[in-house]
Amino acid sequence: MKLSKRSFFITVVIVLTIAADQISKVLVRANVDLRNGISPGERIPLIGDAFVLMHVENTGAFLGMGSELGETMRLILLLILPIVVLAFVLRYIIKDKSLDYWSLFAFSSIIGGGVANVYDRVVYGKVTDFLFIDLGGVFKTGIFNLADLSVTTGMIILVLASFRKKKQDRIVS
């Protein structure tokens, strides 16, 4: 069976997103720990204090939300629900042939990031987070990973594409 150019594009984006995330997490877990003289949560400046590496194991979702939930609720909300949603998104982008490549890239990035974090929850029972941005009070993030970055980037692209489409629709009508 030969993949269409479109299916190949979707597959490559998803696989590369998962691979980049998992490789980065393996490197962080192997190199940012007590064996290397780095205590949990210690800040390692990458670009001054603005971009910092800080290894944290997260049992919840984004920014630790849901980590206080019981085991059953965490299983439903952080594992089963994301798998169902990711499957529906994948089905949608495969079926809807009208999506442009930016939208395909965005949805594929979201799927790849979601799968990478679900994989961590299944295999490790938690997600490895390690990046932190603090632009001196102007902008500050929680601790995140490349999967989170992929999901967020995908969402931003979809929002921008939506605004662009609405603007084009107004011009046409």
Q: Look at residue 36 in the predicted model and tell me its pLDDT.
A: 72
The DSSP secondary-structure symbol of 172 reads: H
Could you give the residue ranges of the DSSP H alpha helices within 32-145?
71-75, 81-95, 101-124
Angle at 62 between CA 157 and CA 154, to 5 degrees: 10
Residue 172 has pLDDT above 60, yes or no: no
Angle at 61 between CA 20 and CA 72, to 5 degrees: 125
Q: Look at residue 39 in the predicted model and tell me its pLDDT.
A: 74
Identity at 43, one-letter amino acid code: R
Give me the catalytic one of 33, 100, 129, 169: 129
Give residue 167's pLDDT band: very low, low, confident or very high (50, 70, 90): low
Q: Is 148 a catalytic residue?
A: yes
3-class DSSP string for 34-54: HHHCCCCCCCEEEECCCEEEE
CA dihedral 108→112→113→114, nearest 10 degrees, is: 100
Q: Is 100 a catalytic residue?
A: no
Could you read off the pLDDT of 7-32 as tens digits, one per residue? 999 999 999 999 999 999 999 988 88
Could you read off the pLDDT of 33-59 as tens digits, one per residue? 766 777 777 888 889 889 999 888 888
Could you read off the pLDDT of 75-126 as tens digits, one per residue? 788 889 999 999 999 999 999 999 999 999 999 999 999 999 999 999 999 9
Identity at 153, one-letter amino acid code: T
Handedness of CA 43, 45, 50, 55 (dihedral sign): negative
Give me the catalytic one of 33, 96, 100, 148: 148
Distance CA 151, CA 62 (A): 11
The DSSP secondary-structure symbol of 134 reads: B
Q: For residues 21 and 145, is the Cβ–Cβ distance under 8 A? A: yes
Distance CA 117, CA 77 (A): 13
